Amino acid sequence: MKTISHWIGGKPVEGVSGNFGPVYNPATGAQEKQVAFASAEEVDAAVRAAREAYRTWGTSSLAKRTAVLFKYRELVDAHREELARLITAEHGKVHSDALGEVARGLEIIELACGIPEKLKGELSTQVSTRVDVAAIRQSLGVVAGITPFNFPAMVPMWMFPLAIACGNTFVLKPSEKVPGAAFKLAELAAEAGLPDGVLNIVNGDKVAVDALLTHPDVAAVSFVGSTPIARYIHTTGTAHGKRVQALGGAKNHMLVLPDADLDLAADSAINAAYGSAGERCMAISVVVAVGETADPLIGKIKERADQLRIGPGDDPASEMGPLITKAHRDKVASYVTGAAAQGADVVIDGTGFTVDGYEDGHWIGISLLDHVTPEMDAYRDEIFGPVLSVVRVETYEQAIELMNSSPWGNGTAIFTRDGGAARRFQLEVEAGMVGVNVPIPVPVGYHSFGGWKDSLFGDHHIYGNDGVHFYTRGKVVTTRWPDPADGGINLGFPRNH
């Protein structure tokens, strides 16, 4: 059985802790690989490699950094098919979805290639007689990233390309469920000419996470995952003096007004709720239907849902793959049966779904719930699976009150033809990312990604300008070059003049 090891100091390093975790093919349910789990000592070795590499990388020229990044972008682009196959094999998502993930990660590499523009700084001349003031940004040192299973390539690429472009060195702890793509990204970085130790990977579980959060030489930690873990990452990391950005979970609402194009809304609800089997923090999990919108909209969603093809991710005919683990599949199914017990109408029940020839896979079909209320578990919890709830309200005001009462504030969307209603919504809704007739409003690379409330812990969103600011710190330099004719002693308080 293949073992995925760590990547430290520019090369693979076999695990020595003796602990390993299984890596499954979700479509078959079979364990196909194992991954080495790092001990605290192995994490320390990765941090030491990063700290040593920072001595030269942190002072390297922008020209050198961008040369490596341009080559890296070329290599990732050339290997996008291989990366997508790795993602599908370990995560289960369909090949086209995996390709899209790699493409969105490439956006951030491209942003990192433009780092000279982002680090230009500011200069004010002659603020006082022969005095100039400059504002510059400098790297932090060794920084770390802890990434989730649902985007094994994209989320790491949201972090380390920008971090190393800013002059930091990086230690990545990918999800132990899907380690293959991250390891390949490290191999490609070395091929692109990234110096040894600038990018390191330690695989593992909570032991590795805690070692990074408490390590005195780690200056900052980026995290994407569930809200309880994000809160833990932020609390623990900041208690140990680290800068932390921790992106948590979500319960994203899609508001459909009576004037909306219901065909567009139904297509969008299908795509946003069931794409990637609902295993994404920007999935739409609640449709809020205003007035008489619900019945015709549900009919259109059901009509489309009945045509969806669920199967192995490497089958070109498949539109949705399995869930990541059997335990997660069972948990998602429990929300559907629980919603029925709590009074919801189960319009589509996907809990008994399986695929011929792949009966041991982690399969679940899509589910559609109607007459869901805020007291139900299916509404309150982040399900992270292909379950869409419909909540009925009478007015826009009721809808906005419902949505803003949610503890999460990651993403949201409104479907309407009314520009005034859309403008009002984008100002009134309490969420960090808003779509107008766009169901999954993930910002492009040069804007930043992040939510509000329990969807974000820390002050910085990820990538974009916020990402640059997170991975750097500001410094202001005040300079006076005296005229040779100046002189004399003056003990008075300095004054601008």
Q: Which residues contact 235 (CB under 8 A, 6 or more apart)?
A: none
Local confidence band at 127 (pLDDT 50, 70, 90 cut-offs): very high
Give me the pLDDT at residue 485, please. Answer: 67
Q: Is 346 exposed, middle or buried (0-12, 13-18, 19+ CB in 10 A)?
A: middle
Q: Which of 436, 343, 322 is nearest to 389 (CA)?
A: 343
pLDDT above 60 for 496: no
Q: Which two three-digit tokens encode residue 333? A: 């199914």
Q: How far apart are CA 109 and CA 105, in angstroms?
A: 7
Q: Which residue has the tokens 């009919």?
A: 299
pLDDT in tens, 425-450: 999 999 999 999 999 999 999 999 99
Give me the pLDDT at residue 486, please. Answer: 65
Local confidence band at 495 (pLDDT 50, 70, 90 cut-offs): low
* Pairing of the two strands 367-370 and 252-256: unpaired
Q: Which of 253, 306, 270 is nearest to 441 (CA)?
A: 253
The SS3 call for residue 223 is strand
Checking 417-424 for CB contacts under 8 A at 24+ apart, the result is: 417/259, 417/260, 417/261, 418/257, 418/259, 421/257, 421/396
Phi, psi angles (nearest 5°) of residue 245: -120, 120
Which residue of the set 281, 336, 364, 462 is catalytic? 281
Q: How far apart are CA 188 and CA 210, in angstroms?
A: 28
Sheet of 122-128: strand order equals: 122-128, 131-139, 472-480
What mean pLDDT comes out for the span 33-58? 98
The SS3 call for residue 34 is strand
What mean pLDDT comes out for the span 274-297? 97
What mean pLDDT comes out for the span 293-322? 97
Phi, psi angles (nearest 5°) of residue 172: -105, 130
Sign of CA dihedral 210, 211, 215, 221: negative
Q: Which letter, b or e, does each residue of 157-194 get, where b requires 16 or more Cβ atoms within 10 Å of its Cβ?
A: bbbbbbbbbbbbbbbbbbbbbbbbbbbbbbebbbebeb
Q: Which of 266, 261, 229 is nearest to 246 (CA)?
A: 229
For the chain, give the number of residues. Answer: 497
Q: Which of 278, 208, 207, 289 is nearest to 249 (CA)?
A: 278
Task: Give percent of the chain with pLDDT exceeding 90.
Answer: 96
Give me the pLDDT at residue 487, please. Answer: 65
Q: How far apart are CA 40 and CA 53, in angstroms?
A: 20
Is 113 an active-site residue? no
Local confidence band at 1 (pLDDT 50, 70, 90 cut-offs): confident
* Cα 8–chain centre separation: 24
Please tell me the pTM assigned to this model. Answer: 0.95
